[in-house]
């Protein structure tokens, strides 16, 4: 039951009473469950054919099955990019269903913060170069370790970096950094000199399926939602600051691996 209370005011402006409405949301919740099941099933069923499709396109594009005309090469490249995009959407939908059913298990370990930055930078360096952007990495010195699932934390950084690359015009700069942020936390930042986000959208970009109207999108508006859920599952926080026309900074925190848990990490800046 979802309770909702509304005050009733007297003519003098004082509170004279309260109406309380109890709405039975069982059917709505059931509908939400069905929707989640449908999304998960469809995304799951897409995986196998998508893998075959990617393989066929890859072999054809690499001319493993015969030479291509320049026009065919161009078409194959477009098909390849669409497949990657589709794969990204399927992965996001599967992550969403894992989050909603509480099945996103973390394999937490001690992870070097600099290695996380380097992994994301390596994955996106080609895209940044193709987009004519400078990509800078600033790792903490001396090195620090965080307690994180390296794969999931890598997904968060890659999502933020891919967004920064997508929303920064040619000639701009994207910077990845991490530093000790007090209270046993490490703060990761992805800063860009791109189009920025207006205040009324900035609060909503972390919402499920939210995309800024008129902005280029990488998927279905799930990237930041999933990223924030992953960070929250680690006990960290995530946020963003932006100046429209100047750029954006997306940040998140992860817990510092303690000195006493083995491995000899120094928790000093
Ligand atoms: P998607 O996966 O569809 O790209 P996201 O959840 O990653 O969705 O992002 C939500 C919205 O936030 C996007 O539509 C985009 O407009 C905006 N956005 C995200 N990152 C940036 C950025 N670095 N600069 C400007 N806009 C951004």
Per-residue HEC secondary structure of the chain comes to: CEEEEEEEECCCCCEEEEEEEEECCHHHHHHHHHHHHHHHHHHHHHHHHHHHHHHHHHHHHCCCCCCCCHHHHHHHHHHHHHHHHHHHHHHHHHHHHHHHCCCCCCCCEEEEHHHHHHHHHHHHHHHHHHCCCEEEEECCCCCCEEEECHHHHHHHHHHHHHHHHHCCCCCCEEEEEEEECCCCEEEEEEEECCCCCCHHHHCCCCCCCCCCCCCCCCCCCCHHHHHHHHHHHCCCCEEEEEECCCEEEEEEEEEECCHHHCCCCCCCC
Q: 189 CB under 6 A from ligand 1?
A: no
Nearest ligand 1 atom to the CA of 192 is 23
Atom 8 in ligand 1: which residue has the minimum CA distance?
221
Query: Which residues are within 8 A (CB) of 56 and not within 5 positions of it... i.e. 6 or more apart?
Result: none
pLDDT at 266: 39
Atom 19 in ligand 1: which residue has the minimum CA distance?
163
pLDDT in tens, the chain (269 residues): 778 888 888 888 888 888 888 888 888 777 777 887 888 898 889 999 999 999 999 999 999 999 999 999 999 999 999 999 999 999 999 999 888 888 888 999 999 999 999 999 999 999 999 999 999 999 999 999 999 999 999 999 999 999 999 999 999 999 999 999 987 999 999 999 999 999 999 989 999 999 999 888 778 899 999 999 999 999 999 999 999 999 999 999 999 998 654 444 333 43
Report yes or no: 157 and 129 within 8 Å, Cβ to Cβ: no
Rounded Cα gap, residues 206 and 231, in angstroms: 12
pLDDT at 28: 77
Q: 222 CB under 6 A from ligand 1?
A: yes
pLDDT at 268: 40
Nearest ligand 1 atom to the CA of 250 is 23
Q: 148 CB under 6 A from ligand 1?
A: no
- What's this model's pTM, rounded to 2 decimal places? 0.82
pLDDT at 260: 53
Q: From ligand 1's centre to the CA of 250, what distance in Å?
A: 11
pLDDT at 1: 76
Nearest ligand 1 atom to the CA of 216 is 16
The best mutation among 203, 224, 230, 231 to test binding of ligand 1, ranked by most ligand atoms within 8 Å of the C-beta, falls on: 224
Burial of 103-113, coded b for 16+ CB within 10 Å and e otherwise, reads ebeeebebbbb
């Amino acid at each position: 039951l979802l309770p909702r209370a509304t005050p009733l005011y007297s003519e003098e402006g004082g509170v004279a009473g309260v109406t309380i409405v109890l709405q039975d949301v069982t059917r709505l919740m059931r509908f939400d469950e069905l929707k989640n099941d449908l999304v998960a099933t469809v995304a799951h069923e897409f995986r196998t054919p998508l893998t075959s499709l990617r393989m066929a396109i890859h072999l054809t594009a690499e001319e493993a099955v015969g030479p291509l005309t320049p026009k065919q090469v161009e078409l194959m490249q477009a098909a390849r990019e669409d497949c990657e995009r589709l794969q990204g959407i399927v992965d996001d939908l599967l992550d969403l269903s894992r989050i909603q059913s509480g099945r996103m298990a973390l394999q937490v370990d001690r992870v070097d913060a600099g290695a996380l930055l380097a992994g994301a930078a390596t994955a996106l360096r080609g895209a940044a170069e193709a987009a004519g952007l400078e990509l800078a990495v600033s790792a903490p010195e001396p090195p620090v370790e965080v307690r994180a699932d390296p794969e999931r934390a890598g997904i968060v950084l890659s999502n933020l970096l891919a967004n920064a690359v997508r929303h920064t015009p040619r000639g701009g700069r994207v910077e990845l950094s991490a530093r000790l942020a007090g209270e046993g936390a490490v703060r990761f930042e992805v800063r860009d000199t791109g189009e920025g986000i207006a205040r009324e959208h900035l609060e909503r970009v972390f919402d499920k399926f939210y995309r800024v109207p008129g902005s280029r999108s990488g998927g279905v508006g799930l990237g930041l939602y999933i990223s924030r859920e992953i960070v929250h599952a680690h006990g960290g926080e995530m946020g963003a600051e932006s100046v429209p026309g100047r750029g954006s900074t997306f940040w998140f925190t992860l817990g510092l691996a303690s000195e006493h848990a083995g491995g000899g990490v120094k928790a000093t800046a």
